[in-house]
Copies of this chain bind each other. A is one copy, B any other.
Amino acid sequence: MRVKELMDTKFLRVYPEYTAKKTIELMYRKKRYSTAVLDDEDKLIGWVMSIDLALIDDKNKKIKEIMHPTEDVITLNENDPARDAVVKIVEYKVTSIPVLNNEGKVVGMVRNCDITKTLAKLYDIPVYNLFKTFEKEIKGITWNELMEAAAVVTKHTTGEEISPKEYEKRIENTTFGQALWACGGLEKFFAGLIKIGEIAIARKIAKRR
């Protein structure tokens, strides 16, 4: 995934000749905490945060007198990997980052809430889907055999007596995130799945003999 797939292309345009007053009203209306300052060609020339605007006494002051200069602004290129946006948001603790194209024009804004939304999607995938993938990929294994294997592994690892039916019911209401949390991390979740797979595959091969 690239930054351009993450960014919001509908962003606030603030110009250096704007007064603080006008900018505050715009930001308030659009619910923005910070905004890029652009020249007439959409090139980035500065950055303003709402707290900078709160700090000044004279609201007729021009934005060009208040803004942080470009060299102090964290930016991204639209072709950067999306991961760079995550790394910069975390490292600099900013809420949004302007995105430039190769000509230095601002083409979008990456916002922390959009990043959170994107990152969180993975955690919300139902575990049920993963077992359905399991069933589909290992030809010759039935859904019931898979649930049986899962019940056996659960008994082995946690001591809990659970029927294949109960296991099925449980994974219908479990997300990947919840499963990771319950298992103690990706590697452990993965180890459990491997054990289930191993039992299911071994049974399938035993049946064939």
Residues of A within 8 A of B (CB): 1, 20, 24-25, 27-28, 31-33, 49-51, 53-55, 57, 59, 83, 86, 89-90, 93-95, 111-113, 115-117, 119-120, 122-123, 125, 129-130, 133-134, 136-138, 176-178, 180-181, 186-187, 190-191, 193-195, 197-198, 201-202, 205
Q: By the criterion CB–CB under 8 Å, are A122 and B122 in contact?
A: yes
- 3 tightest A-B CB contacts, nearest first: A54-B54, A119-B119, A53-B54
The answer to whether B89 and A130 have CB atoms under 8 Å apart is no
A1, B181: Cβ atoms under 8 Å?
Answer: yes
Chain A contact residues, majority secondary structure:
helix
Q: Which residue of B lies closest to A131 (CB)?
A: B190
What are 18 A-to-B residue pairs whose CB atoms are below 8 Å? A24-B54, A25-B55, A28-B54, A31-B93, A51-B54, A57-B59, A90-B113, A115-B116, A116-B119, A119-B119, A119-B120, A122-B122, A122-B186, A125-B186, A134-B194, A137-B198, A194-B197, A198-B201
A128 to B156, CA, bound (A): 26
